[in-house]
Amino acid sequence: MADVLAVHQAGMVAVTDLGRQGHSRDGIPPNGAADQFSAAVANILVGNRENSPLIEVTASAFAFTTTRAALISVTGAPATLTCGGRPHRMWEPVCVPAGARVAVHNVHNGLRTYVAVHGEFQVPFVLGSCAPDSLLEVGTWLRAGAELAVDTDYVPVDHPVFRHPVFRLAAPTPRFGSPWTIDVTDGPAGADFVDLDRTLLSEPYRITPTSNHIGLRLSGPAPTRLDTRELLSRGVPVGAVEVTPSRELLVLLRGRPVTAGYPVVAVATRVAQSALGQAAPGHVLRFRRQALPDAVAAYRARRRAMDALTARVRTAFGCVGIPCH
Amino acid sequence: MTLTVAPYGDSALLATVSGGSVEDRWLAVRRLADAVEADGIPGVLDVVATYDALLVEFDCARTTHDEVAGALRDARGTAAVPTPTTYRIPVVYGGEHGPDLPDVAAQLGLTERDVVRLHTETPWVVRFRGAPAGAPMMDGSRFPAPISRCPRPRTHVPAGSVAVSGRQAVIYPVRSPGGWRLIGRTPLRLLDLGYRPGDVFRFESHG
């Protein structure tokens, strides 16, 4: 069944998903939700596939109504969430009556808040993803007055005593706010720098205003490179911490060019990359060295927590007859 | 030639080829990339093949560095390299479309006409599709010397700009920031061409 989400207020708001994976060889970066963990959990909490399209609200306000009753969830950076004027919890499913105004504002201690709606937003896909890409000039940006179709089989739950069920699914929630602790593993050019322990791994680094979805530019003491040879361009992963010839530190995010010719001194872990997607200009990063097996173990623990949440959602939704996908 | 495989963060490996010629290393990387794609190694998400290295990204919850490294060492790139396709690229050189042409000529001690002649005489070989948006990274330069980059990169390079830097050439497929020297512009929409590594670009001067 089709539902329509009518946008009443939207600052910097886009429809996205987990990104355009598998096209790096063709020079196309993944993009997609900057905070992959929060985005995936928002979808899990409404019974969607983790990679379903959802709404990313960047440091601004968003308000909408739906023509039919809807099941939504809001995750990511802490924000004020109201439905029909009443406050609601983030990181839990919320039953929204038809026509009730849902508002997300006061995003703080982070940059991006995610809104998932049970069902599938009907938006254009390019190379398997709806994620905006500023270079390919694709993506669905929402403005006040816009309407977004949702294909959903959600049937509103009506209880004789409680109009709407209240869920307490205990989604795992990360810590938000500056200073952010960013776990990193060693980078391939780490050995070319003499003073990583005294700079990158002990000093605070502030995010400058020229940062964006491609990378964070940092101000702070630059490590010193012994080797001065120019490097051949090679593939570089998301999370790479580069030192430019002008001794500026750059952390690559999901919109990064797939190749780079700057030395990479460290790589942010998969878990830390979600935090990087939340860190705002003016915020402080503190890098912490992590051994490779520990980084892998942390990511696997997070994956298990997400799978356990999915199981709880399925059980709870199964009890009240909400379909899961 | 030797293949070195090393971790690159918790979700990637970098395989580097050493020894042999530039051409040998590039062919070895390309064969390895094709083999990785053909083998469908479980958990592998993406590869980036460049001049002498292959970045392999994977889901570290589904596989391990050791497993993927083993699969890379065992990968046998036996697939035949396809016959290269030659693309003819019409270019308007100089003027507003190639604002750096006078500068490139001055760097090389040539006339602008000579720069255009050398650029159009060169069969430029696409080595890989890079940033931004799958830009064809080409080499084979017949210029007498490498060309330096712009001291201050432009914030907006128009789509279709034909540029040179070092001993490489590129066409910007989309409007983007860039630090290479712009010598001309093509009206072709690069995203529609479907070129692959190994293909050849021949530029043609149109007034």
Q: Is B86-205 a CATH 2.40.100.10 domain?
A: yes
CATH code for the domain of A217: 2.40.100.10
* A22 and A164 in a common domain: yes
In whole angstroms, what is the distance from residue A29 CA to residue A34 CA? 13
* Helix, strand, or coil (residue B167): coil
* A308 and A168 in a common domain: yes
Average pLDDT, chain B: 92
pLDDT for the residue A244: 84
Judged by CB atoms closer than 8 Å, whether chains meet at B9 and A268 is answered as: yes
Grade residue B144 by pLDDT with cuts at 50, 70 and 90. Answer: very high
A-B CB pairs within 8 A amount to 120
Judged by CB atoms closer than 8 Å, whether chains meet at B9 and A296 is answered as: no
Domain count, chain A: 2
**ipTM of the complex model:** 0.93
Grade residue A162 by pLDDT with cuts at 50, 70 and 90. Answer: low
Nearest chain B residue to A292, by CA: B10
Chain A residues touching B5 at Cβ < 8 A: none
Chain A residues touching B129 at Cβ < 8 A: 25-27
Q: Establish if A325 belongs to a structural domain.
A: no
Which among B37, B55, B133 is the nearest to A27, CB-wise? Answer: B133
C-alpha separations of A285 from A219, A241, A249, A280, A291 in Å:
10, 12, 12, 10, 19
Structure token digits, residue A62: 């968003």
Residue B121 distance to chain A (closest CA, Å) = 26
Q: Is B65 on the interface with A (CB under 8 A)?
A: yes
Grade residue B40 by pLDDT with cuts at 50, 70 and 90. Answer: confident
Judged by CB atoms closer than 8 Å, whether chains meet at A259 and B51 is answered as: no
Grade residue A246 by pLDDT with cuts at 50, 70 and 90. Answer: confident
Q: Establish if A246 belongs to a structural domain.
A: yes
Look at residue A296 and tell me whether its pLDDT is greater than 90: yes
pLDDT for the residue B74: 87
Chain A residues touching B52 at Cβ < 8 A: 232, 234
* A97 and A25 in a common domain: yes
Judged by CB atoms closer than 8 Å, whether chains meet at B48 and A232 is answered as: no
B residues 17..36 contacting A (CB < 8 A): 33
* A184 and A154 in a common domain: no
Q: Which range (A142-151, A232-241, A253-262, B84-93) has the least confidence?
A: A253-262
B residues 138..197 contacting A (CB < 8 A): 174-176, 191
pLDDT digits (tens, 9 = 90+) for B68-87: 999 999 887 666 677 899 99
C-alpha separations of B167 from A66, A93, B84, B149, B163 in Å:
57, 56, 21, 11, 11
Judged by CB atoms closer than 8 Å, whether chains meet at A25 and B49 is answered as: yes
Nearest chain A residue to B174, by CA: A135
Q: What residues contact A194, with CB distance under 8 A and at least 6 apart?
A: A223, A224, A226
* A203 and A85 in a common domain: no
In whole angstroms, what is the distance from residue A73 CA to residue A154 CA? 14
Domain ranges of chain B: 2-74, 86-205
Judged by CB atoms closer than 8 Å, whether chains meet at A235 and B14 is answered as: yes
Rg (CA), chain A: 21
* A191 and A155 in a common domain: no
pLDDT for the residue B79: 61
Rg (CA), chain B: 19
Looking at beta carbons, which pairs linking A291-295 to residues 24 or more positions away fall under 8 Å? A291/A185, A292/A185, A292/B7, A292/B10, A292/B65, A295/A183, A295/A185, A295/A269, A295/A270, A295/A271, A295/B9, A295/B10
Residue B149 distance to chain A (closest CA, Å) = 13
Q: Establish if A295 belongs to a structural domain.
A: no
Residue given tokens 């964006």 in the structure block: A212
Q: What stretches of chain B show up as alpha helix (H) in DSSP?
A: 22-39, 65-74, 101-108, 112-121
Q: Which CATH architecture has domain B2-74?
A: 2-Layer Sandwich (3.30)
Chain A residues touching B57 at Cβ < 8 A: 24, 237
Looking at beta carbons, which pairs linking B175-180 to residues 24 or more positions away fall under 8 Å? B175/A135, B176/A135, B176/B132, B176/B133, B177/B153, B178/B132, B178/B153, B178/B154, B179/B149, B179/B150, B179/B153, B179/B154, B180/B149, B180/B150
* A45 and A139 in a common domain: yes
Each residue of A68-99: b (16+ CB within 10 Å) or e?
Answer: bbbbbbbbbbbbbbebeeeebebbbbbbbeee
Q: Establish if A297 belongs to a structural domain.
A: no
* A128 and A103 in a common domain: yes
Range of the domain at A18: 2-175+303-320
A137: left (phi over 0), alpha (psi -120 to 50) or beta: left
Judged by CB atoms closer than 8 Å, whether chains meet at B55 and A257 is answered as: no
Look at residue B155 and tell me whether its pLDDT is greater than 90: no
Judged by CB atoms closer than 8 Å, whether chains meet at B14 and A267 is answered as: no
Question: How much of chain B, in percent, has pLDDT values that exceed 70?
Answer: 98
* A229 and A199 in a common domain: yes
* A8 and A146 in a common domain: yes
Q: Establish if A20 belongs to a structural domain.
A: yes
Which among B6, B60, B133 is the nearest to A28, CB-wise? Answer: B133
Chain A residues touching B128 at Cβ < 8 A: 27, 259
Which neighbouring-strand residues pair with B66? none
Q: Which range (A151-165, A212-226, B43-57, B167-181) has the least confidence?
A: A151-165
In whole angstroms, what is the distance from residue B62 CA to residue B43 CA? 5
Structure token digits, residue A76: 């990511």
Nearest chain B residue to A261, by CA: B50
Which among B12, B65, B131 is the nearest to A27, CB-wise? Answer: B131
* Helix, strand, or coil (residue B172): coil
Q: Establish if A17 belongs to a structural domain.
A: yes
Look at residue A19 and tell me whether its pLDDT is greater than 70: yes
Grade residue A1 by pLDDT with cuts at 50, 70 and 90. Answer: low
Q: What residues contact A201, with CB distance under 8 A and at least 6 apart?
A: A287, A288, A289
